Structure 1
Amino acid sequence: MSMHGGFERTDFLSYCQSLYDTDKAYDIAQANRLNRHRHVEPDSAQFLASIAMIRKPNKVLEIGTSTGFSTLWLAYGLHHQSDADFISLDIDKSRSNTAKQHLQNVGLSSLVRFIVQDAFVFLSKTEDIFDLVFLDAERHFYCDYTKPLHKILSIGSVLIVDNVLSHSDEVCEFLAEFLNDSRYICHTLDIGAGLFMAVRQEP
């Protein structure tokens, strides 16, 4: 039984499928990629929820809210926890507000803190350690995030990055910073557009 009033699993699944279909059609019609919502694929979203359920993280950070499809699924993965602190970060206020409405519509809004801020600024200033970080933002900034990401990850922390197969040329330099770092166990997963997972094993 959910601990969050108004949440129903069957309604949630139906809502997510409808949202994905609607936004996918919207994206196809957009000539400018920056106008697209660019959600994760459904199987990638479900994988995120699975990791959240398995890991049971106390602190979660999503970098790149967009309009909240992955946010919905991460919240779903956390909805049996009463103490999880989940921050979803985006620089676009209108998209963050849309995501917030989606979470309210399915009864999971109490699980997420939406912050509208530049990711590099947030990462550089935060003193928090996160158990689970999902990165799905503008890829040309990823290398700027490397040093502050190392700072917010500790032993057992999990970093997941989207689009690593579909846009491998754009993320290869960033991923190499983790693949070549002995503090991490890394896996590239053929799920959706490709997910990269780095698990911190040393301080």
Structure 2
Amino acid sequence: MNTLTTRCVAQTLNALHAEAEIADREHIAGRIAQIETAGETFAQAVPRWLTEERAGYQQIYRGYAGNFLAVSPAYGRFLYMIARTCWAKRIVEFGTSMGISTLYLAAALRDNGGGRIIGSEIEPSKAARARANLEEAGLADLVDIREGDALDTLRAVGGEVDLLLLDGAFSLYLPVLRQVEPFLTRGAVILGENAFDPTYLDYVRNPENGYLSQSLAIDDGRGNEFTVRTA
């Protein structure tokens, strides 16, 4: 038995994944229709999305207040396993949303003997829902969810960081990484979910920047990147 499989955590996660599938169905279908209408491939659509984000990511992501945009159950289990494997004690999460990924990470911290997750969520209603979900699962004591722009809320993270999860505005992955970078321990894991920004990928895949990185074969097509701090 581990925390992830305890009744309260498992029931909370199962209910949230089911709710997320329904809540995000229309959003995903709309994205696909947008690409098809424009006669684009997915790869061709990404630069347009990044340009739109950079022109106003705050407004765009606050517009997703009703969407989970959550990790899959498979990726969630991976988050738990990685956090356990590296004995993470301090985790930073960019893009908490309703707290599904946070629950997996918090379960890992509980089984690691404790620690702290510093989460950042730009939409206040999502941050409130995430706190409620963590409370329901009995994991709220391990998590500090900060409302607002991550470039403000993650300026100070309280100490060395063992794991960084990037799962928010695609165009902010590199700025958030660079901001948290001074706190990363050697061997820290950085996970980019939907890591589509070429400037981010170029940075973490260049060994001169102190990282070793490669794509992750979980949820094919979602652009998952696995990175380790080597310097």
Q: Which bin holds the TM-score, normalised by the shorter protein?
A: 0.7 to 0.9
- Take 2:176 and 2:184, find their aligned partners in 1: how far apart are those partners? 12
Q: Deviations over 1:3-34 (max 9, x none)?
A: x9xx9713422321221111210112346984
Match of 2:200 in 1: 174
1:187 aligned partner? 214
Equivalent pairs counted in the alignment come to 194
CA RMSD of aligned residues (A): 2.3
Q: Is 1:24 aligned to 2:21, yes or no?
A: yes
Letter in 1 for 2:144: R
Q: Percent identity?
A: 25
1:110 pairs with 2:107: no
User: Quick check: 2:98–2:129 contact (8 Å CA) kept in 1?
Assistant: yes
Deviations 1:30-51 (A, max 9, x none): 4698422200111111100001
Mapped to 2, the partners of 1:105 and 1:126 lie a distance apart of: 25
Q: Which has the higher helix share?
A: 2
Find the counterpart in structure 1 of residue 50 from structure 2. none
TM-score, normalised to structure 2, is 0.75
The DSSP-based 3-state class of the residue aligned with 1:57 is coil
For the residue of structure 1 that corresponds to 2:130, the secondary structure is: helix
| Residue of 6, 9, 19 corresponding to 2:6 | 9
Match of 2:95 among 56, 64, 67: 64
**Counterpart of 2:117 in 1: which secondary structure?**
strand
| Aligned counterpart for 1:77 among listed residues 97, 108, 118 | 108
Amino acid at match of 1:201: T
Letter in 1 for 2:119: S
| Equivalent-residue separation in structure 1 for 2:140 and 2:199 (angstroms) | 36
Task: Give me the whole-angstrom Cα distance separating, in 2, the residues matched to 1:93 and 1:112.
Answer: 16
Q: Comparing 77-86 with 91-100, which one deviates more in the overlay? A: 77-86
- AA aligned opposite 1:28: R
The amino acid of 2:188's aligned partner reads: S
Q: Secondary structure at the match of 2:144?
A: strand
Provide structure 1 residue ranges, at least 5 long, that are not aligned to the other structure. none
- CA distance in structure 2 between the partners assigned to 1:151 and 1:118 by the alignment: 19
Q: 1:148 aligns with which of 179, 198, 207?
A: 179
Bigger Rg, which one: 2
SS in 2 for 1:199: strand
Mark the CA change 1:127 to 1:22 in structure 2 (over 3 Å): closer, same or farther.
closer
Q: Give yes or no for contact 1:8–1:106 (8 Å, CA) kept in 2.
A: no
How far off its partner does 1:94 sit? Answer: 1.2
Structure 1 residue matching 2:187: 3-state secondary structure: coil
Deviation by residue 1:100-127 (Cα, 9 ceiling, x = unmatched) = 1111111111111111131112344456
The Cα shift of 1:153 comes to 1.6
CA distance in 2, matches of 1:143, 1:111: 26
- 1:196 aligns with 225
CA distance in 1, matches of 2:174, 2:164: 16
Q: Secondary structure at the match of 1:44?
A: helix
